[in-house]
Amino acid sequence: MEQLKIQELYSDLSKTMAKELLESKIYPWEVLPEISAFLVKLGNALSEEEYEKRGEDVWIAKSAKVAPTAYIHGPAIIGKEAEVRHCAFIRGNALVGEGAVVGNSTELKNVILFDKVQVPHYNYVGDSILGYKSHMGAGSITSNVKSDKKLVVVKGQEMQIETGLKKFGAMLGDEVEVGCGSVLNPGTVVGSHSNIYPLSSVRGVVPANSIYKKQGEVVEKDSCLQYGMLNPESA
């Protein structure tokens, strides 16, 4: 249970403008229903010298780069030095952290991206939180609704937590690497500094400092390094 808490997944909440919201909860998914209202409150308090309000409830840092072909629906905040590239689709309720990258044809909805997050190529990220410097490889997505439309349950070894949420994508800890073409199924939680192999279908809880190769084959990074099993480029 401890590994699922905000304080374990995210070591430094100063790396997101959502610090106040996250500090008020125990588990990260508890903030999902409150992102919209929080962004409106936060946006209205931002410095007019640093942020420009564009349209209804959309605030963009003056130092951010936003392609003219990108679409941004509020509430949304695009942080300092962030980059929103060609044909990105931000559907609303999105906080894009400082120095983050939202790439070509990437879609965001009801998300918090910590600072320096990269979702740079053909990603879908919905009802999710991505920790500091986490990265999703090309074509990797979060699946945020179960096929049977039932409420999402977070399932780990010898534990289950009912979230009460119908829409819940993935919670990624700090500096998580998700390989190209992977699917993070509803209720996925990946601990900090873990790697997901390309083309993986991930569900449940992946511990911190782990390598997810496939369902049922998750190893600690230290053991892989000890026996020379880790190929950083494939992880």
Residues 100 and 79 sit within 8 Å (Cβ to Cβ): yes
> Which of the following is catalytic: 73, 86, 121, 135?
121
Instruction: Please report, in angstroms and rounded to a whole number, the separation of the first and last CA atoms in the chain.
Output: 26
73 included as an active-site residue: no
Residue partners of 216: CB distance under 8 A and separation at least 6: none
Radius of gyration of the chain (CA): 17
Instruction: Compute the distance between CA of residue 161 and CA of residue 216 in angstroms, rounded to an integer.
Output: 20
Q: Is the peptide bond before 186 cis (omega within 30 degrees of 0)?
A: no
Query: What residues act catalytically?
Result: 121
